A = this chain, B = another copy of it.
């Protein structure tokens, strides 16, 4: 194995997280957008986690105390959902349970930008978004036109570092090469498939898998890297069989199941996926 980035986890470390996910079935509370609930739940189930979409203000805080991890995705906000998100994030933080923020379309629209920025006070263990969203959340971006990013992940590197300083957590920027930042540590994850962007909810499901992986390891950077590598390898295997987006999405769920710890270790040992 080549020398290089000391922040980069080893193939064995990543495989161990994948293995723990399958054995421990972490319970992931999802407060996510209405478009992606189904694929998010199915992606979590395929990987071995247990989803629970508890997203109302009456139950959100209570459940965040017992969940293994919490995902907050602002893709389709309303006032009730925004209230539940603040309650869940605060409760997870107080209980010491990791939580992940996915700032969908933040920067482009005022309400969700304000909501997501307020959520930062609860110090998300991981922020996961594309370059526009991360820059929009941090305050330096011009904003995208929705969920698709108009910037490369590398463009958000400086914003990701600043945001990571503020939250103390990981900032993971999705792109053709994913860039994951924790303080001054940076890990890049290559691969995946353009079909992931032609399937609604694949990126949002990645956020949920980041939460699941972070729940089973004490290290949010290792958790986030594992989820990104798992998703990328599963996407490549699915795309090789199914080049059209409808069947790709189904094959991707199948491959999230099929890519176990051994498959992930073999892939990482033999490729330059992590850098």
Let me know if A251 is at the binding interface, CB within 8 A: yes
Chain B residues with CB below 8 A from A33, complex form: 53
**Interface bracket on A:** 35 or more
1/0 contact string of A69-108 vs chain B (CB within 8 Å): 0000001111110000000000000000000000001000
Cα distance A52–B109 in the bound complex, in angstroms: 12
Let me know if A13 is at the binding interface, CB within 8 A: no
Let me know if A24 is at the binding interface, CB within 8 A: no
1/0 contact string of A243-262 vs chain B (CB within 8 Å): 01111011111111110000
Cα distance A46–B46 in the bound complex, in angstroms: 24
Chain B residues with CB below 8 A from A23, complex form: none
B252–A45 touching, CB < 8 Å? no
- CB-contact partner of A254 in B39, B109, B146, B244, under 8 A: B244
Number of copies: 3
- CB-contact partner of A38 in B62, B105, B200, under 8 A: B200
Cα distance A148–B234 in the bound complex, in angstroms: 26
Cα distance A169–B85 in the bound complex, in angstroms: 38
Let me know if A36 is at the binding interface, CB within 8 A: yes
Let me know if A203 is at the binding interface, CB within 8 A: no
Chain B residues with CB below 8 A from A6, complex form: none
- CB-contact partner of A244 in B39, B111, B145, B257, under 8 A: B257
**A33-53 contacts to B (CB < 8 Å):** 33-39, 41-42, 45-46, 50-53
